Amino acid sequence: MRPRSLEEFVGQEHILAPGKLLRRAIEADRLPSVILSGPPGTGKTTLAQIIARLTNAKFQRLSGVESNVAEMRKVVAAAAGRIRTSGQKTIVFVDEIHHFNKTQQDILLPDVESGNLRLIGATTYNPYFYVNSALVSRSLVFRLEPLSVEQLELLIDRALADSDRGLGNYKVRMDDDARRHLAKLSDGDARKCLNALELGVLTTPAASDGAIHFTLRVAEESIQQKAVVYDRVGDAHYDTISAFIKSMRGSDEKGAIYWLAKMLHAGEDFRFIARRIVIFASEDIGLADPEALPLAIATQQAVEFVGMPEARIPLAHATAYMCRAKKNREAYEALASATEEIESEQTERVPEHLKNKHFPVNPEV
């Protein structure tokens, strides 16, 4: 059910709409080295396969998980020989490029720099943190976004109508609320959505007329639990904790509780959340409410004492308190100002009237 052309590709209009740079480069077969980053199921590998069909260059695929140094050197040497003997260019697609260590990524660098090969790297991580900076600087970086509910519903309808590569040979009658449920709970992940659709169709008994009735109940069973896009070391981790803190700072209690629930649901370390609340109580509330910091400390002790799943209750209690409390960053900002002054100017000596006078000072020393 993968798209075979840019016309079939759903989503990512911000980089693939007619007239956009990436689309023009693909259609003209003048693609430079690019890095595609984005959450799972947004079309990174599919886009690379479409490029493979459209290009006149030799298309080679490597896996950041499976490919070793010997295989990489073989591909790189073949690319150099190809351009020398026939003039044909080579595009090397590296799926999950963030799994390559620095040595492996460095193998690609000289040939990317010389033009012997063009790189397409795909990653779910921030390439500025996980991909060799020299490779990033020689590539165009494009961010793929999660698909909207409407785009996922379009994919569902296409899959049900496609007899060649989809589920068109099955007589499926899908309820509107079932379609919407699959699309909403897939969190923008097309792969998750289509896998759940296929599972539901293939496991639901047909009626006497041969039709498969795809109901909301079937959708709920097929997708099971919402696929929360979250990883404890990547962008989603930092983006979500940032949203949590900024919601508390803005006194958005509903928003802060939502982000707290998302982190807990995704398996975030509850101790980490408690530490962030302690920091927030001192940094953002500070002098405005002297009770905030003791409450945060008590929350940290409480979550250690009760553990999960009950730890979520004191965390929610503390989050709500921090949202409702008045805010004052004077102490934090005063410290930051003093630190900046110390770092940028000559350090002042302690004035005489502030020195320790308990011990006699020898004036000759």
Residue 42, pLDDT score: 93
pTM here is: 0.66
Q: pLDDT tier at 360 (50, 70, 90 boundaries)? A: low
| C-alpha dihedral (197, 202, 203, 207), degrees to nearest 10 | 110
Q: HSE (CB half, 13 Å, CA atoms) of 230?
A: 18
Kindly report, residue by residue over 313-343, the tens digit of the pLDDT: 999 999 999 999 999 999 999 998 988 888 8
Whether domain 149-223 has CATH 3.40.50.20: no
Kindly report, residue by residue over 62-84, the tens digit of the pLDDT: 999 888 999 999 999 999 999 88
Kindly report, residue by residue over 260-297, the tens digit of the pLDDT: 999 998 878 889 999 999 999 999 999 999 999 999 99
What are the helix (H) ranges across the chain? Answer: 13-16, 21-27, 44-54, 69-85, 102-114, 127-130, 133-137, 149-161, 176-185, 190-203, 216-223, 235-249, 253-265, 270-280, 292-306, 312-324, 330-344
Cis check for the bond before 127: say yes or no (omega within 30 of 0): no
Write 138-142 long-range contacts (CB < 8 A, 24+): 138/33, 138/109, 138/112, 138/113, 139/32, 139/33, 139/34, 139/35, 139/112, 140/21, 140/22, 140/32, 140/33, 140/34, 140/35, 141/34, 141/35, 141/37, 142/15, 142/22, 142/34, 142/35, 142/36, 142/37
What mean pLDDT comes out for the span 164-191? 91
SS3 234: coil
Domain ranges of the chain: 13-143, 149-223, 235-324
Residue 214, pLDDT score: 94
Residue 359, pLDDT score: 55
Answer yes or no: is pLDDT of 363 > 80.
Answer: no
Residue 94, pLDDT score: 94
Whether domain 235-324 has CATH 3.40.50.360: no
Instruction: Identify which of 45, 70, 49 has the alpha carbon closest to the alpha carbon of residue 59.
Output: 49
Mean pLDDT of the residues in the chain = 89
Kindly report, residue by residue over 230-268, the tens digit of the pLDDT: 666 666 788 899 999 999 999 999 999 999 999 998 878
Whether domain 13-143 has CATH 3.40.50.300: yes
Residue 55, pLDDT score: 86
Residue 1, pLDDT score: 73
Residue 342, pLDDT score: 83
Answer yes or no: is pLDDT of 354 > 90.
Answer: no
Kindly report, residue by residue over 41-53, the tens digit of the pLDDT: 999 999 998 988 8
Residue 361, pLDDT score: 53
